[in-house]
Amino acid sequence: MTDLLQRLQHAIPGAEAWIEDLLAAHRADSVRVVDTEFGRLRDYFPASLLEAARVATVEELPVLPVAHYGVPEFEAMANMPAAAITFGNMFFLRDGDSSEGIHFHELVHVVQWRVLGVRDFLLTYAAGLLQHGYADSPLEVIAFELQGRFDHREPIENILALVEAHATGARASAAALFARHGAAFDV
């Protein structure tokens, strides 16, 4: 496990550059979430987030080339079928899979990226996958839980504070995993 965690640390600079290039390549063909047809999102997220977050519709979802960056253990997860994926303030929807619930779910991830930053998001997400698998990884659990509440039209008080606190807690858990295995989380 220590070796894998160290390889994750070494993968971060390449992954950050790949994400920067991806976002730059899709900026022109993406739209602000506030400009989408899904007005109910405004009842949950502040206008500033909906104006900053972007969505790009693509035929194939972009996949972080984890094997190229030395962590092939994440290859199966990176290539699992999905309707959407988020990188930073932009999420990508597979053409034909757009729904208000998916937009909501991905906006939760936008908030997580915002509070954690690229490096800590990637390490926290990876640690959650290692410890719990995809469906039970902390950053997914809250996104699915809140999406369920949104889908059932339940109010969610202070959603930003809720997601930010949860992301911070997940980061602390990830840092503890790294520490237990003698690997530094903060470099």
**pLDDT tens string 108-143:** 999 999 999 999 999 999 999 999 999 999 999 999
Residue 185 DSSP code = S
**pLDDT tens string 29-75:** 999 999 999 999 999 999 999 999 999 999 999 999 999 999 999 99
**pLDDT tens string 18-38:** 999 999 999 999 999 999 999
Q: Where are the domains of the chain?
A: 2-180
